[in-house]
């Protein structure tokens, strides 16, 4: 889950909706507002099974020499927006924190769609970091003991034994101002993948994810999780 400039390392979050739900619900996303779900496949029929509306998509992929080379090449060719342009973005400076960064990227860009519990950790976090730049947000998180403890509890609550020796990485996809953005704390800024909408964000993200998977045909360690808004019965 990505080495980082900081010496601090956390245990990685498991790509498990139950773990992520308990993490988010405990920090201030009401269980009545949002929930994480597995995406079992990227063809249209399986995408239609995901509860709607989808607000954000998390993608876990293996870090390989090939993926790292492609990332470097993409950084030089794809338009990386150094200015946020309305996108909530933060750098990753803590090792193995990409799962938490991905969830913060997701929630930080959908605060107009879901109601955070007033006075909760996430409510205070996003209010405190709203006017910070991506590096300042990273430093704020790195020094935030409450989040470190919450992350540790979630990381040890999965089905597999937590280890800091991992070779996978989480990124987030979400729609902001009519564009699909890829949010990766290892990048200089948000990456735009073109036009999108709240109604098509899952399908649009799936197309980008499929391209990443096709470039790594020998890898099977991929996982896609959607964060959907509760609409009630």
Q: Are strands 191-195 and 179-183 parallel, antiparallel or unpaired?
A: antiparallel
pLDDT at 129 over 60: yes
163 band by pLDDT with thresholds 50, 70 and 90: very low
Average pLDDT of every residue of the chain: 85
162 band by pLDDT with thresholds 50, 70 and 90: very low
Q: The pTM is what? A: 0.88
Q: Which of the residues are catalytic?
A: 98, 169
192 half-sphere exposure, CB direction, 13 A CA radius: 16
- Alpha helical stretches, state H, the chain: 17-27, 44-47, 65-77, 98-108, 121-129, 134-142, 145-155, 201-214
pLDDT by residue (tens digit) across 176-217? Answer: 999 999 999 998 889 999 999 999 999 999 999 999 898 877
């Amino acid at each position: 889950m990505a080495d980082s400039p900081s010496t601090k390392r956390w245990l990685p979050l498991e790509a498990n909706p139950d773990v992520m739900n308990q993490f988010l619900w405990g920090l201030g996303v009401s269980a009545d507002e949002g929930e994480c779900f597995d995406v079992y496949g990227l063809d249209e029929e399986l995408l239609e099974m995901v509860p709607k509306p989808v607000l954000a998509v998390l993608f876990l992929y293996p870090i390989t020499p090939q993926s790292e080379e492609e990332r470097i090449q993409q950084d030089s060719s794809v338009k990386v927006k150094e200015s946020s342009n309305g996108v909530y973005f933060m750098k990753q400076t803590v090792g193995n924190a990409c799962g938490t960064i991905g969830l913060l990227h997701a929630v930080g860009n959908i605060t107009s769609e879901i109601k955070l519990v007033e006075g909760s950790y996430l409510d205070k976090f996003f209010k405190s970091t709203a006017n910070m730049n991506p590096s300042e947000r990273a430093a704020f998180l790195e020094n935030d003991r409450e989040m470190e403890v919450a992350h540790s509890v979630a990381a040890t609550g999965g089905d597999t034994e937590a280890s800091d020796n991992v070779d996978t990485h989480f990124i987030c996809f979400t729609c902001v101002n009519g564009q699909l953005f890829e949010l990766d704390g290892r990048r200089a800024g948000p990456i735009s993948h073109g036009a999108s909408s709240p109604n098509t964000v899952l399908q649009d993200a799936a197309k980008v994810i499929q391209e990443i998977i096709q470039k790594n045909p020998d890898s099977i360690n991929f996982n896609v999780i959607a964060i959907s808004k509760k609409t009630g019965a």
